[in-house]
Chains A and B, each alone.
Chain A
């Protein structure tokens, strides 16, 4: 299923021009990244920007949303008096790495000093070329336009590595700050997470727009490679401005006996598209993937997930919940493949939606393709409105209409929230949900 559709040629040639300029500057730096950049550029120039004829982008007209010209930002500095604490989701036991438009900012970032755990920009990692075999190994640049585009601009990726048997005592939060005060900037954050045999790490990747930033576009890619019996908890938190277009491609590759928990929380943005690909490549892999999306007004949030059961005895469990207000539009597309060899697979998928207004919209499509014959699989999607009977029941007990709505929607999203292993984050996210709900229009 190759995307042969070339999008708006103006934007593509504009991005490629920027890439040429970029290469002339950066190819001298991290030389080992050069080959990847060239491959990414070639793949992107072949694919371009997806058009709505592309089945994978049927409901998300990103070419139209993007418009025409984008350039790399010229300034990377944080505005004066900017308080980073607004962006930190966890306080205790957390190491924070700050990236502005995909470029690391060492003076704002913590230095991680922990035996066996690396979390730093590639430029600060000794022998960073050791990661050559991992970087780009699971990102699918031949099928994912924006992974290709991101790879074309590879510069100084964030590298997280946990040595065999090490349980990282610190949570790593990457704060991505996006946008500049000039129009139409673009950026390409890149992260690689690698856990060696028996290792564990918790990573929070969060995306925010800089204050007063104008229309901007961010195409982020994260690759997570888990060796045997390792475990990664990965949270993606998206709270960007109404003039930010954000695409994320997240790839997991799970080896034997490894486990992943991912949670994707889309809170705010003009257009957000998340592609999450999980490959269960060896026996007894366990993947939990959950998410919440709350678009309001004119916002458009799209989640595409793919769980590829390649090997037998693996387990996947997926629950995404959406609440749409105003004339927002959400898309959920969840694919589960169970390949012929993947006997004894357990795969569960569920997507539930609530439309708060008549103008809000959801396109949901759960897809299950099973080629093995001894599996347990289920999938389903629901879309509804708030239960009028429940709303009346609460009001008849003296609870005001807004508070009653809030209680019901909080309860609805709580089911996905309860899947979060980190209780502190669960509370932080519950609070974010509560705040967003109070401004959502019905």
Chain B
């Protein structure tokens, strides 16, 4: 589904990803862990198509198509979803209006009729339950005045509404207390259907107790330096990242 080959990318002239390789198959959950500054967020932003990040080399194919050439909206329409590390507040645009526009633009790109208000409300109600969000949240402006936990839940809610093929979760667990973390993880798990793929980027192993990955990769200094299964995450938790750093140095 997703094939990243020798990806080099950076921001403001500084190379951060230095030849990253990653292959994600259908229905797989990949966790990407790494110390601060290793390039985790750069990877998420490059996948979503953020302008500020420059791709310097390598390739990213999504279902065989060159992702790098696609605009952010086209990536979303093709089925990629990024759950933001820092969801943006958009005053004056209601959550419901925002999502309705997004759902219908994606449907339009697939040649589908727009959802009418009734069907949209039914869909929204169903997905709200998934992340235990109150209906009132949909009439509020996007993320405005939301707590940290509410913002992250809102990301998962959007993911549920847009039903992507590949979801990239950028440190969705950071700053969450354990209750909020469980709600977010439950939302994600409910969307695991054997076809949808996930790239879960995290600094902490804790999240992986709740979202159990098929593969764990360690990102360090712009490259994936170690890959394994969920046991690798536990090892990292126990030994810390210095162990990896030393291993790479050797």
Interface residues of A (CB under 8 A from B): 387-390, 392-401, 403-404, 407-408, 410-412, 414-415
Complex CA gap A401/B71 in Å reads 9
Report yes or no: B92 in contact with A390, Cβ–Cβ below 8 A: no
Residues of chain B from 70 to 114 with CB closer than 8 A to chain A in the complex = 71-73, 75-77, 82, 84, 87-93, 97-99, 101-102, 105-106, 109
Q: Which of A388, A398, A412, A414 contacts B76 (CB 8 A)?
A: A398
Total A-B Cβ pairs within 8 A: 74
- Report chain A residues within 8 Å CB of B77: 398
B-chain residues with CB within 8 Å of residue A388 when the two chains form the complex: 51
CA distance A389 to B100 in the complex (A): 20
Task: Report yes or no: B73 in contact with A395, Cβ–Cβ below 8 A.
Answer: yes
Taking a contact as CB atoms under 8 Å apart, the answer to whether B92 and A389 are in contact is: no
Closest 3 CB pairs of A and B: A411-B92, A398-B76, A397-B102
Decide: B91 and A398 in contact? CB cutoff 8 A: no
Contacts A399-B73, A408-B93 given; indicate if A392 touches B102 (C-beta within 8 A).
Answer: no
**CB-defined contacts of B158 to chain A, threshold 8 Å:** 397
Q: Is the CB of B50 within 8 A of A398?
A: no
Task: List 15 contacting pairs A-B, 8 Å CB cutoff, sorted by A.
Answer: A387-B88, A393-B87, A393-B88, A393-B90, A394-B98, A395-B72, A396-B49, A396-B82, A397-B162, A398-B109, A407-B101, A411-B92, A411-B141, A412-B92, A415-B92
B33 part of interface (Cβ distance < 8 Å) = no
- List of B residues within 8 angstroms of A411 by Cβ: 90-93, 141
Interface of A is mostly: helix
Residues in B neighbouring A400, C-beta threshold 8 A: 73, 105
Q: How far is the CA of A403 from the CA of B141 in the complex (A)?
A: 17
For A390, what are the chain B residues with a Cβ–Cβ distance below 8 Å? 88-90
Distance in angstroms between the alpha carbons of A390 and B143 in the assembled complex: 11
Chain A min CB distance to B68 (Å): 15
Is the CB–CB distance between A393 and B102 below 8 Å?
Answer: no
Q: Which residue of A lies closest to B142 (CB)?
A: A393
Q: What A residues does B51 contact at CB under 8 A?
A: 388, 392
Contacting pair B73 A398 (CB below 8 A): yes
Residues of chain B with a CB closer than 8 A to A407's CB: 93, 97-98, 101
Contacts beyond the supplied A395-B76, A399-B98: 8 A-B pairs with Cβ under 8 Å: A392-B72, A393-B142, A396-B73, A396-B82, A397-B162, A399-B105, A403-B101, A411-B91
A-facing residues in B13-46 (Cβ within 8 Å): none
Q: From B86, which residue of chain A is reached at the shortest CB distance?
A: A389
Mask for B101-135, Cβ within 8 A of A = 1, else 0? Answer: 11001100100000000000000000000000000
* Residue picked from A390, A396, A404, most chain B C-beta under 10 Å: A396
Chain B interface residues toward A at CB < 8 A: 48-51, 71-73, 75-77, 82, 84, 87-93, 97-99, 101-102, 105-106, 109, 141-142, 158, 162
A399 touching B92 by the CB < 8 A rule? no
**Given A392-B50, A393-B84, is A399 in contact with B101 using a C-beta cutoff of 8 Å?**
yes
Question: Are B76 and A396 within 8 A (Cβ)?
Answer: yes
A400 nearest CB across to chain B (Å):
5
- B168 to chain A minimum Cβ distance, whole angstroms, is 10
Min CB–CB distance B243 → chain A (angstroms) = 35
Q: Which residues of A contact B141 (CB under 8 A)?
A: 411
A396 in contact with B48 (CB, 8 Å): yes
Given contact pairs A396-B72, A396-B82, A397-B158, A408 touches B105 in the complex (Cβ within 8 A): no
Other-chain contact of B162, A387, A398, A401 (Cβ < 8 Å): A398
The smallest C-beta distance from A323 to any residue of chain B, in angstroms, reads: 13
Chain B's closest residue to A393 (CB) is B88
CA distance A401 to B105 in the complex (A): 11
A414 nearest in chain B by CB position: B92
- Whether the pair A399, B71 counts as a contact (CB closer than 8 A) is no
Q: How far is the CA of A390 from the CA of B93 in the complex (A)?
A: 11
Residues of chain A within 8 A of B87, CB atoms compared: 393
* B90:A394 contact, CB within 8 angstroms: yes
Q: How far is the CB of B40 from chain A (nearest CB, A)?
A: 17
Bound state CA distance, A128 and B51, in angstroms? 66
CA A405 to CA B142, docked complex, whole Å:
15
Closest A residue by C-beta to B80: A396
A323 to B35, CA, bound (A): 43
Task: Report whether B102 and A399 are in contact in the complex, using a CB–CB cutoff of 8 Å.
Answer: yes
Q: How far is the CA of A53 from the CA of B75 in the complex (A)?
A: 54
**B88–A389 touching, CB < 8 Å:** yes
Chain A residues within 8 Å of B76, by CB: 395-398
Q: With the chains together, A389 CA to B82 CA distance in Å?
A: 14
The residues of B that contact A392 with a CB separation of less than 8 Å are 48, 50-51, 72, 88
Question: Which residues from B are CB-within-8-Å of A396?
Answer: 48-49, 72-73, 75-76, 82, 84
